[in-house]
Structure 1
Amino acid sequence: MFVYGDIMYFGGDYNPEQWSEDVWADDVARMREAGVNLVTVGVFSWASLEPEEGSYRFGWLDRVLGLLADNGIGVDLATATASPPPWFSASHPESLPVDADGARLWPGSRQAYCPSSPHYRAAAVRLARAMAEHYAGHPALRMWHIGNEYGCHVSRCYCDTSAAAFRDWLRKRYDLPGLNEAWGTRFWSQEYTSFEEVLPPRRTPSFLNPAHDLDFRRFSSAELLACHLAELEVLREVTPDVPVTTNFMAGVHWEIDYWQWAPHVDVVATDHYLRADDPDSHIDLAFAADVTRGLAGGAPWLLMEHSTSAVNWQPRNIPKTPGQMRRNSLAHVARGSDGALFFQWRASLAGAERHHSGMIPHAGTDSRIWREVCELGADLGRLTEVEGSRVTADVAIVFDWPGVWAQERPGHPSVDMTARDEIAAWHRALWRLGITADFVPPHGDLTPYRLVLLPAQYLLGETARSALLSYVEAGGTLVAGAYSGVADDNDRIWPGGYPGALREVLGVRMEEFVPLAEGGTVTLSDGSTGRIWREHGRAVTAEVIASYTAGDADPVADPWARVLDGVPAITRNARGGGAAWYLSTRLDDPSLIRLLTRITGEAGVRPAPGAVTGLELVRRAHPGGPSYLFAINHGADAAPLEAAGLDLLTGEPFPGTVPAGGVAVIKES
């Protein structure tokens, strides 16, 4: 990642401006006690740093950074541009965002700005320059932090300023005939005779043009990226040797195309918060961490924010149980993070996030949370040699954000056919099998992987289609889920039958989609259970592994059951040196696990040794050097594990068992 000594980073978001100055010395003393070595400062400090336009007041921040530097604590210094102060919105009301219904979103929370606003960008760049010039060479400065969770609240703005910027973006992508062709505007009399006629996809009487909406989502992600790049240019100019980051929300926030963002940070960082109502929240954590590692190209990354306990924004903010914070933090480290940071250092006494947990909770240091924070700091101190190592994976999951956007728009055959749920389901099946997966974009390099999965890749352009065909012919194993490869990058349906772009490599030709009724299921000839979806068609060159069966289906309630009896549901097509599988239904979790067990075995993918239910196993390794097996027991019982080596967390040889709720990091013999 980036190295200021071989350390695992530990700390969190520090907001000293929320506290009287006499607290700061105690803050730093407690940081040293806990083993904190990196804090993020200034994320929401714009009003404190620039209380009026052009008047900067850095004195208080100078004192904070000096205190941190004197105590050996590094700073991830924010440019403070995440949320404009009230004076800015009052001076530039036209910079406030507008939703799809034309309603203005007013200040009073955060991120109240239009990403295309020239006034916002100019003010943000001026502040970033002032910060960079003032703190260049400061001994505490370890990294720049631009913005904060871009697009979290305003991912798309529909104002007139955004409309003009959208038209400019389109002119760079298309000429006018090309735009009409890409968007299929002959449908519903939507042909444009001038770019000036193009508006953002505001609320309309019926379904929006899907390609229009898809391009607006691409544009909106690009506009937020342009905000980031404007500040990045200044920081590169003034402090070229200081790494730059911003905090993604990979795996949980689906409004930004992070594949386009990742090349523009020196450190891929992300935020992740558990859903308290999800009994498999630790698997969701693994999903988000694996997506983040994909964005980092397999390199180490940084967990910028998570919570010590409860958050403030869920319907029921249930606190983490004893030991859960430790498991969460080390699970992120297992999957590639070179540290664990939190929001925030001290739990706030006022404001919208006053009930969000902190490293120092409202109860102070005589508390369970504080004791666990100190224990985690000690754990990370014992894992310094793991820093810089990489996660090893033989499986890749292909997905992209535009494909998710396109599939989850209205106007598809079934409202139940969501992309993100199916992507998570396939990842969850691998997790339960003890198999780690990387995430890659459709245009990514597939050659390192024995097995490539496409759970729900609705959009698939010619470049990606050719890459997948070449991968299989060269000996790889591909598994495609239902409703994949249906449309090209402009959301135009591939003609000639489904699954469109993948027909050749999968060796099947489907004619019709046949969604199931809400909650409906179908039994396959191998005993598997399908849900949500069926397809009517035939195998061309593929071997039929399982077919639909009519069973005892009610012909009145489901007249398609008999029509589909015997129609291929799961197929395998030998192609060149490899094989391509197709699932024309969505399997329930047990059926998917059984099928992937067979396919991974055929592809030569082996789970981590000794994987059992509830025991998460992930391996990190230095190229040509030692490997480290992370074993995280999410179960209520002790778990046996066939592994030998030194447990870095205890300093003792691994005893062969991971206690209930416990963690081991085994430096393998």
Structure 2
Amino acid sequence: MSDQSLLRERWLPGVRELSFGGDYNPEQWPREVWAQDLDLMRRAGVNLVSIGIFSWGLLEPRPGEFDFGWLDEVIEGLHAAGIRVDLGTPTTVPPQWFWQQNPHVRPVMRDGTVLAPGSRGICCPSSPEYAEASLRITTQLAERYGKHPAVALWHVHNEYGAPVSECYCEVSAAAFRAWLQARYGTLDALNTAWGTTFWGQTYGDWSQVGAPAQSASMSNPAHRLDFARFSSDELLGCFTRERDVLHEMSPGVPVTTNFMATNCPSMDLWKWSREVDVVANDHYLTAADPRSQVGLALDADLTRSLADGRPWMLMEHSSSAVNWQPRNLAKRPGELARNSLSHLARGADAILFFQWRASRRGAEKFHSAMLPHAGENSRVFREVTELGATLWSLTDVLSSRVQAPVAILWDWESLWAQDLDWRPSVDLEPRRQVREYYERLWHDKVTVDFAHPTADLSRYAVVLAPASYLLTGEAAANLTAYVEAGGHLVVGPFSGVVDQDDAVHPGGWNGVLRDLLQVSVEEVLPLPENAGVTLTGGTRAGVWAEDLAPQDAETVLEYTDGPAAGRPAVTRRALGGGTATYVSTVLDHHALTAVLDPVLERAGVTIDRDLPWDLEIVSRHGADGSEYVFAINHAGAPVDLPVEGVDLLTGEPCTGSTKIPAGAVRVFRR
């Protein structure tokens, strides 16, 4: 096994406890504040901070001229205080001199707008000038700090794809053409894949192919889908370029960047996750979501899945309100701990925040921090300190793994394709479909992984595909083999419709799944806005219906009204030792329960409806056979939980039952 493979198999080198801390930006503060920060960090239990992420202009004030004095002082101070460093390469914020020298690298939006500097994360990712400058600063950092004992991790760039993920300038268009030539080889292959005979778009020379800028009407969807793939790959190339320098010059120190698993749709994180040494993620609650704890759990489970079950890092979340949503709601007492420990329960071995000290100036001065504007004598800082002590008491959880009996299919390419214009209904939202299935299982205390449609699914008793619009022949064969081997598959509406080129599969709307499901979709029947349909037994559905023609599949539920009245709505087919269920509509909560319950029962998946919905239960499992049960009470009333084991937060044994106070978290080892 290579050194980098070994790196991916273990946690941060030398780290034997859970990591706790956040982004630290001492350059925003006078030096006399730095000593105060170190004292307060020690009091809070901080042992890892991210530094240098936005400091390119200070580190290289003029091209090729470097000033590391202040950073030396910060790193030495942190090291003396016993705090490890996640050292950033500051390539998300090119200095002002870079923009002055290279005005042509400003990114161009699809509508032709050229973005000015003054923010962060904006630069044409295909720019050779940017590549040269970013490698120069990364090399300097690696030479100076690559073997420093305080550096436990390298942090490349920041939140790739946010706020800009695509550039439509001429440099990007040329890079896109090179990417297409590598993918297709010939123009004939490109024209075939893109179906350019439609609307007379056939290309006769590579120079005619450009970025799919805003046009008079709908652009070629295959063109736009490939540009989304290209854009993700270009950003990934920016990361791997810096990563390779750090691997060479700082051997043994892992390299990562911070994903946004559900909040940055422009990156294919299945591909990205294979290139980082440790998976790291940023997550912020959606204030408008009344059940944001479910969205948090979904995001954490997706991140763990990207890490293939290995420990991962929560690189950023907020201690209270953020500053960029329409209404930035402060977290209520205890919510900071519940959010943090839910991430821990779902596999994170590092809990970090943005940021350590709240900024007085700049765009994020109203964003919360571990040390808020109100200072150390504040509820938020007290809760931060309590969380640090809690994480210390949970050291035994380090390196344990989460086990999930159910997987939900998630494919960024399918999401990109379904998000394009001129789909049958704007109301059929794939992410909302995934959330509905996920939330049903969250309430039933069933832990979920996410998986790509071509991944090995053999360890899952049940696989759910709520929204698999784009599905390749390889993926369909994988799902068929899974069912034949005894797995239980549930497929949602408008799935298996197109191939990798966004071309409709032959043989019906679900052509690539027809043989597996033994049902053909003869016509899709989108419903009017806010309309619904009734199914057998009076259950309700909405948004969408389909005209199904079953072959060797039994009807589970029928439409009793609406455009498909009298036709099957849900079918099930037995194959080998497994089953394949097809759901042709968007079920309400009760109807979804009625469909999923027999599938879960047949697969031997245990559900728990005796406990309140708002009690979150997740387990992690140690290599020694230990089980760590996290009980997070999101309700406003105490809950009696049947449990045997030791409460790791109090050290008290529990025999039979214990009370989880409203808003509290308990962790039991058994």
- With structure 2 as the length reference, what TM-score do the two structures score? 0.97
How do 1:224-623 residues align onto structure 2 when only pairs under 5 Å count? 224-550=235-561, 561=562, 564-607=564-607, 611-623=611-623
The residue that corresponds to 1:555 in the other structure is: none
Deviations 1:556-575 (A, max 9, x none): xxxxx2x5221110111001
Instruction: Please state how far the C-alpha of 1:653 moved relative to its aligned partner.
Output: 2.1
Aligned match of 1:168 in 166, 170, 178? 178
Gapped regions of structure 2 (runs ≥ 5): 1-10
Alignment partners' CA distance in 1, 2:57 and 2:27: 10
Alignment partners' CA distance in 1, 2:433 and 2:215: 30
The residue that corresponds to 1:223 in the other structure is: 234
Runs of 4+ in 1 over 6 A off after TM superposition: none
Q: Give the secondary structure class of the aligned counterpart of 2:339.
A: helix
Alignment partners' CA distance in 2, 1:382 and 1:598: 40
Alignment partners' CA distance in 2, 1:608 and 1:300: 27
**Amino acid of the structure 1 residue aligned with 2:16:** D
Alignment partners' CA distance in 2, 1:339 and 1:146: 17
The residue that corresponds to 1:666 in the other structure is: 668
> Are the aligned partners of 1:42 and 1:78 in contact in 2 as well (CA < 8 Å)?
yes
The residue that corresponds to 1:81 in the other structure is: 91
The residue that corresponds to 2:637 in the other structure is: 637
Most deviating of 57-66 and 428-437: 428-437
- Root-mean-square deviation (CA, aligned residues, Å) is 1.1
Q: Give the secondary structure class of the aligned counterpart of 2:278.
A: coil
Alignment partners' CA distance in 1, 2:596 and 2:54: 46
The residue that corresponds to 1:11 in the other structure is: 21
Instruction: Please state how far the C-alpha of 1:625 moved relative to its aligned partner.
Output: 2.0
Query: Aligned pair in 2 of structure 1 residues 623, 237: CA closer, same or farther (>3 Å)?
Result: same
> Are the aligned partners of 2:492 and 2:582 in contact in 1 as well (CA < 8 Å)?
yes
**Amino acid of the structure 2 residue aligned with 1:256:** M
> Are the aligned partners of 1:628 and 1:665 in contact in 2 as well (CA < 8 Å)?
yes
Instruction: Please state how far the C-alpha of 1:300 moved relative to its aligned partner.
Output: 1.2
Alignment partners' CA distance in 2, 1:147 and 1:350: 22
> Are the aligned partners of 2:347 and 2:402 in contact in 1 as well (CA < 8 Å)?
yes
Alignment partners' CA distance in 2, 1:568 and 1:451: 23
Q: Give the secondary structure class of the aligned counterpart of 1:145.
A: strand
Q: How many residues align?
A: 657
Q: Give the secondary structure class of the aligned counterpart of 2:667.
A: strand
Deviations 1:118-144 (A, max 9, x none): 111110111100000011221210000
> Are the aligned partners of 1:430 and 1:593 in contact in 2 as well (CA < 8 Å)?
no
Deviations 1:175-218 (A, max 9, x none): 21110111010000011111110111100011111100000000
Alignment partners' CA distance in 2, 1:588 and 1:69: 54
Alignment partners' CA distance in 1, 2:666 and 2:390: 10
Alignment partners' CA distance in 2, 1:582 and 1:138: 56
> Are the aligned partners of 2:85 and 2:153 in contact in 1 as well (CA < 8 Å)?
yes
Alignment partners' CA distance in 2, 1:590 and 1:362: 46
Alignment partners' CA distance in 1, 2:623 and 2:197: 55
Most deviating of 381-390 and 654-663: 654-663
**Amino acid of the structure 1 residue aligned with 2:446:** I
Alignment partners' CA distance in 2, 1:440 and 1:136: 35
> Are the aligned partners of 1:6 and 1:385 in contact in 2 as well (CA < 8 Å)?
no
Q: Give the secondary structure class of the aligned counterpart of 2:544.
A: coil
Q: Give the secondary structure class of the aligned counterpart of 2:296.
A: helix
Instruction: Please state how far the C-alpha of 1:600 moved relative to its aligned partner.
Output: 1.0
Q: Give the secondary structure class of the aligned counterpart of 1:391.
A: coil
The residue that corresponds to 2:60 in the other structure is: 50
Instruction: Please state how far the C-alpha of 1:609 moved relative to its aligned partner.
Output: 8.8
> Are the aligned partners of 1:76 and 1:145 in contact in 2 as well (CA < 8 Å)?
yes
Alignment partners' CA distance in 1, 2:539 and 2:399: 42
> Are the aligned partners of 1:451 and 1:477 in contact in 2 as well (CA < 8 Å)?
yes
Instruction: Please state how far the C-alpha of 1:527 moved relative to its aligned partner.
Output: 2.4
Query: Aligned pair in 2 of structure 1 residues 608, 372: CA closer, same or farther (>3 Å)?
Result: same
Alignment partners' CA distance in 1, 2:235 and 2:16: 34
Alignment partners' CA distance in 2, 1:13 and 1:611: 38
Q: Give the secondary structure class of the aligned counterpart of 2:163.
A: coil
Q: Give the secondary structure class of the aligned counterpart of 1:431.
A: helix
The residue that corresponds to 1:558 in the other structure is: none
Identity %: 51
Deviations 1:533-555 (A, max 9, x none): 000121111110000012xxxxx
> Are the aligned partners of 2:12 and 2:153 in contact in 1 as well (CA < 8 Å)?
no
Aligned match of 2:108 in 98, 119, 130? 98
Query: Aligned pair in 2 of structure 1 residues 450, 524: CA closer, same or farther (>3 Å)?
Result: same
